[in-house]
Amino acid sequence: MAPGKMDINIQYGMPSGHKIPALGYGVYQTPANVAEDVVLHAFKTGYRHIDSARVYRNEQPCAAAIRKAKIPRDQIFFTSKVPPRAMGYEKTKDAIESSFKQTGLDYIDLYLIHAPYGGKTARNGTWNALLEAKLAGRIRSIGVSNYGVHHLDELEVHINDLESNFGKGKGGEISVGQWELHPWLMRPDVIEWCEKRRIIAEAYCPLVRGERFDDPKLQKMATKHGKTPAQILIRWSLQKVRSSNHCHWRRNSGIDKRKGFVPLPKSVTLSRIEENANVFDFDLSEEDMMSLETSEYSPCSWDPTKSHD
């Protein structure tokens, strides 16, 4: 790939038919009293994708920033998530209503199940509530977070059952899955499952919370490209193509059909918000990409994929 072929405006098509920006701005642990200002700065920097959640307690200031930014709403992508304590049909309906009440948004672009807790009945009920809101046009795309392959298989059976009982399209589709993803936690089983179904894979903790910035291979790559370790890791995530066609791009109206991960770097430091977006003026070669990858399974965050309730 030639440098410059990818930019901050690149979007991926999702199974729902909607588009998602390839780079997101995460607001996990962003205090509500600063969230509006940092999201506004992210918009000023060029981000158009904000990843929030009910448990982050900052949906309201994020939405305030969306209104204050004066950017057309259809150019901004906003995500929230069902909290683990709200699993089950009725509780999820209440969580969705709370999101709309707090944000004042007419629609939410993406709503995810934050974690696969609560048991099969609760998981299926939560999916049904999200699907109901999607079919009503209030939520545009739905998906999951932190699901293991066994959870994904279970959900696919439920979707197929809904379609068998109520008709094609009535079971919904998993448009996005969100996981901790980086060279020390590549989750090949989950990613292969998603690739076969064209599901977008979002990467939280793409910077590994800074815990690997001193890694010799990462340091070498940063020196080679004149970039920070954080920028190298974000670029790795963007370029992590899930097929053998590493270097083939096919763009149509700004939609990139070669889908890498969608990294969600987070920071409340304005200079780092800018730094994390400054990753489109260089490329990692295939050799660079491979040299960073490991077979480690080393989460730096929680790992609900392993739950079996």
* DSSP 8-state code for residue 266: B
Q: CB–CB of 214/273 below 8 Å? A: no
The residue among 112, 102, 40, 101 whose CA lies nearest residue 76 is 40
Active-site residue, selected from the candidate residues 47, 49, 111, 114: 114
Write down the catalytic residue from 56, 111, 117, 204. Answer: 56
CA distance 139 to 48: 18
Amino acid at 29: Q
Q: Note if 114 is an active site residue.
A: yes
Respond yes or no: is residue 25 known to be catalytic.
no
The one-letter code for the residue type at 54 is R
Cβ contacts of 269 within 8 Å, gap of 6 or more: none
Tell me the C-alpha distance between 99 and 258, whole Å.
32
The encoded tokens of residue 140 equal 């545009």
H or E element at residue 80: strand 77-82
Q: How far apart are alpha carbons 36 and 14 in whole angstroms? A: 28
Q: Which residues, including other chains, have CB under 8 Å from residue 300's CB and lie 6 or more apart?
A: 180, 185, 205, 208, 209, 211
Residues labelled as active-site residues: 56, 114
